[in-house]
């Protein structure tokens, strides 16, 4: 059985905390989800929502951001949907390696590796005029 929670927020940074709280609280409803995994999801959702907010700010758009949280029997899927003009992860330049002296010149580009490292699955797709980021965390099966 899938249960869906939907949150729509203005594309403003001061709503980031609300998005994180709602997704974390929804994930915590599910049994067998460790606190560490909820923290992973909280950070990954914040990254995806931050990207969405920045995409809208760039356009000066007042569109809203949709966050859909699906609680499945064996997984939690969170989709962050914006209409901020699209984002191609293939065009994101990689930051230099940590030991490279030029690493300090790169303050951006950390959100994507964090999402990839924190969620079990991350997909980023262009939609009609925007971007859909889907983050998945799998739940362990019941103990026998």
What's the closest the beta carbon of residue 17 comes to other proteins, in angstroms? 6
The one among 7, 23, 47, 80 contacting other proteins by CB under 8 A: 47
From CA 2, how far away is CA 75, in angstroms rounded? 10
Cross-sheet strand order for the sheet of 121-127: 3-10, 64-71, 75-82, 130-138, 121-127
92 binds other proteins (CB under 8 A): no
**For the window 104-143, what string marks contact with other proteins as x by the rule CB under 8 A?**
xxxxx-xx-xx--xx-------------------------
Other CB atoms within a 10 A radius of the CB of residue 96 amount to 14
From CA 42, how far away is CA 45, in angstroms rounded? 5
Number of residues that bind other proteins (CB under 8 A): 30
Q: Enumerate helices (H) and strands (E) in the chain, giving the number of each.
A: 3, 5
91 binds other proteins (CB under 8 A): no
39 binds other proteins (CB under 8 A): yes
Residues near other proteins, by CB under 8 A: 13-14, 16-17, 20, 36, 39-40, 42-43, 46-47, 50, 53-54, 97-99, 103-108, 110-111, 113-114, 117-118
């Amino acid at each position: 059985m899938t249960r869906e929670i939907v949150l729509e927020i203005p594309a403003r940074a001061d709503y980031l905390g609300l998005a994180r709280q709602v997704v974390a609280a929804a994930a915590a409803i599910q049994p067998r989800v460790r606190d560490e995994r909820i923290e992973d999801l909280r950070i990954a959702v914040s990254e995806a929502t931050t990207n969405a907010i920045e995409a809208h700010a760039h356009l000066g758009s007042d569109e809203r951001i949709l966050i859909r949280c699906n609680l499945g029997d064996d997984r939690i899927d969170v989709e962050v949907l914006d209409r901020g003009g699209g984002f191609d992860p293939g065009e994101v330049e990689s930051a230099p390696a940590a030991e490279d002296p030029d690493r300090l010149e790169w303050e951006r580009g950390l959100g994507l590796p964090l999402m990839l490292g924190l969620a079990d699955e991350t997909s980023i797709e262009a939609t009609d005029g925007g971007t859909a980021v889907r983050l998945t965390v799998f739940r362990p099966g019941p103990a026998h």
